[in-house]
């Protein structure tokens, strides 16, 4: 409902039916809008162990950023429209120095209205045939178009009757007491609009702030959180209430962003632990792969077969896709990355690069907190490598396993882009293999 005139007429009907005061009418409107906001956001409510709650949670998780942004935007628009409509309908119009719209409608609806047309009296001297013909002519002939001045009520008995299918019969033959009915509304003082709206703004903002985290939980990307936030900023560009909503939601955006990078940094540490453990297990096997890991120099100069590629393929596309595996293997050998080492480093680098792209645009306090999170994650990564190094003491190929862990630490600290992708300002000396081997 965005039309103040329609809202005024609706409230007028409720006042007539329930004999409400203006203050009661405002309370009723605000309470209904509170329910509307809750209905919009109800999908995030989580109550105990009910099946419906589980279905709601799974429904939220399946939503993308466009759907979540649409729901939150709808809730914000409902809040802003409620305040604007309440002020427009219930507050006095200061510029015109007149009553509020609702007060004026209440005054106009109580003005006496002349009946649009009186029923025509049939002469007693007319025959029954003449009276019947006169009635038929009266029913079939159209009523003259009624005009209403700007000072008349938008809701009157005659206007209601005119909207009915049998309007012509009703307006011709109903008594004046009905066609010109004027209601009486008990006078009531104007409501304390400002105080009531201030209280409602605080309550509704809390409802929104409490619901937002549950919706944001479905977002697994920092960029998605910013996209949803941007969708709401367009609706909160100016106004006191808009600023209040922005302030209430500011901490929610930050908390979700921190939650996302915490999960992703933890995932990088988990990847390192899993991959290093798998590599150490593979090194226990006496095979060609474990021998290649033990002798990096021999692996670097081992045979590398150049792919057979037709000349036409090179000239037509510039570089055949068949060359990609060969070039990747060549770069891998030139950097001293054996297959197991490359598997560990590539997995860490892919996750770090993805987090770098997702965390672009962080600034101020968020950037400082992110860098602190990166340093903590790197400390945990060091602990993972230290634990892996300690665990090799019981293995048969302890030297090979220890060297492998040291090479992982060395490449991370010197040649890998992993740390730079996470945060270029973080001190990487903590990853030096000499620290690990103390």
**For residue 391, what pLDDT band results from cuts at 50, 70 and 90?**
confident
CA–CA distances in Å: residue 139 to residues 127, 128, 135, 159: 19, 17, 6, 19
CA distance 292 to 303: 12
CA distance 395 to 378: 26
Question: Half-sphere exposure of residue 155, counting CA atoms within 13 Å on the CB side?
Answer: 20
Q: What are the start-end ranges of the E strands in 132-243?
A: none
Q: Which residues pair with 93 in a beta bridge?
A: 98
- CB 395 within 8 Å of CB 401: yes
Each residue's pLDDT tens digit, 328-374 = 655 666 566 788 888 899 999 999 999 999 998 888 899 999 999 99
- CB 249 within 8 Å of CB 208: yes
Per-residue confidence (pLDDT) for residue 222, from 0 to 100:
94
Read off φ and ψ for residue 273, nearest 5 degrees.
Answer: -65, -45
Read off φ and ψ for residue 82, nearest 5 degrees.
Answer: -60, -45
Q: Which residues pair with 98 in a beta bridge?
A: 93
pLDDT at 95 over 50: yes
Q: What's the average model confidence in pLDDT over 136-162?
A: 56
* Between 248 and 55, the higher pLDDT residue: 248
Per-residue confidence (pLDDT) for residue 340, from 0 to 100:
87
Is the pTM above the cut of 0.75?
no
CA distance 146 to 311: 90
Tokens matching residue 19: 């004999």
Read off φ and ψ for residue 423, nearest 5 degrees.
Answer: -170, 115
Q: What's the average model confidence in pLDDT over 311-325?
A: 56
- CB 208 within 8 Å of CB 343: no
Q: Percentage of the chain surpassing pLDDT 70?
A: 65
Secondary structure of residue 410 in the 3-state scheme? helix
CA distance 14 to 16: 5
Tokens matching residue 308: 């057979």
CA distance 322 to 320: 5
Which range, of 64-78, 97-111, 166-180, 356-370, averages the lowest pLDDT?
166-180
**For residue 216, what pLDDT band results from cuts at 50, 70 and 90?**
very high
Each residue's pLDDT tens digit, 249-307 = 999 999 999 999 999 999 999 999 999 999 888 887 766 556 666 656 545 545 555 56
Per-residue confidence (pLDDT) for residue 373, from 0 to 100:
94
Burial class (CB in 10 A: 0-12, 13-18, 19+), 13: exposed
**For residue 149, what pLDDT band results from cuts at 50, 70 and 90?**
very low
Per-residue confidence (pLDDT) for residue 296, from 0 to 100:
62
Secondary structure of residue 314 in the 3-state scheme? helix
């Amino acid at each position: 409902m965005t039309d103040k005139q329609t809202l005024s007429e609706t409230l007028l009907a409720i006042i007539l039916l329930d004999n409400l005061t203006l203050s009661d009418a405002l309370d009723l409107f605000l309470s209904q809008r509170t329910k509307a906001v809750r209905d919009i956001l109800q999908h995030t409510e989580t109550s105990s162990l009910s099946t419906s709650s589980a279905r709601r949670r799974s429904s939220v998780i399946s939503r993308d950023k466009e759907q979540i942004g649409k729901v939150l935007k709808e809730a914000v628009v409902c809040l802003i429209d409620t305040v604007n409509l309440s002020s427009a309908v219930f507050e006095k119009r200061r510029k015109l120095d007149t009553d509020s719209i609702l007060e004026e409608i209440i005054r106009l609806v109580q003005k006496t209205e002349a009946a649009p047309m009186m029923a025509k009296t049939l002469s007693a001297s007319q025959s029954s045939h003449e009276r019947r013909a006169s009635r038929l002519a009266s029913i079939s002939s159209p009523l003259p178009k009624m005009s209403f001045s700007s000072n008349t009520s938008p809701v009157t008995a005659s206007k209601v009757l005119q909207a009915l299918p049998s309007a012509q019969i009703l307006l011709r033959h109903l008594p004046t007491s009905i066609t010109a009915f004027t209601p009486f509304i008990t006078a009531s003082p104007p409501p304390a609009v400002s105080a009531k709206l201030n209280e409602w703004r605080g309550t509704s903002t809390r409802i929104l702030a409490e619901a937002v985290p549950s919706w944001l939980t479905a977002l697994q990307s920092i960029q998605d959180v910013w996209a949803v936030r941007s969708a709401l900023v367009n609706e909160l560009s100016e106004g006191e209430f808009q600023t209040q909503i922005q302030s209430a939601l500011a901490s929610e955006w930050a908390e979700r962003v921190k939650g996302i990078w915490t999960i992703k940094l933890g995932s990088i540490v988990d990847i390192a632990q899993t991959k290093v453990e798998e590599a150490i297990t593979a090194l226990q096997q006496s095979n060609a792969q474990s021998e290649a890991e033990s002798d990096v120099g021999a692996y670097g100069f081992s045979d590398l077969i150049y792919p057979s590629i037709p000349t036409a393929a090179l000239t037509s596309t510039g570089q055949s896709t068949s060359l990609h595996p060969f070039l990747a293997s060549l770069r891998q050998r030139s950097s001293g990355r054996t297959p197991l080492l490359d598997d560990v480093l590539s997995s860490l680098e892919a996750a770090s690069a993805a987090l770098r792209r997702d965390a672009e645009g962080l600034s101020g306090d968020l950037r400082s907190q992110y860098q602190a999170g990166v340093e903590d994650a790197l400390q945990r990564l060091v602990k993972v490598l230290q634990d892996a190094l300690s665990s090799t003491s019981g293995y048969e190929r302890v030297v090979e396993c220890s060297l492998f862990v040291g090479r992982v630490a060395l490449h991370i600290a010197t040649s890998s882009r992993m740390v730079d992708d996470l945060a270029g300002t973080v001190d990487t000396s903590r990853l030096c293999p000499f620290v690990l081997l103390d």
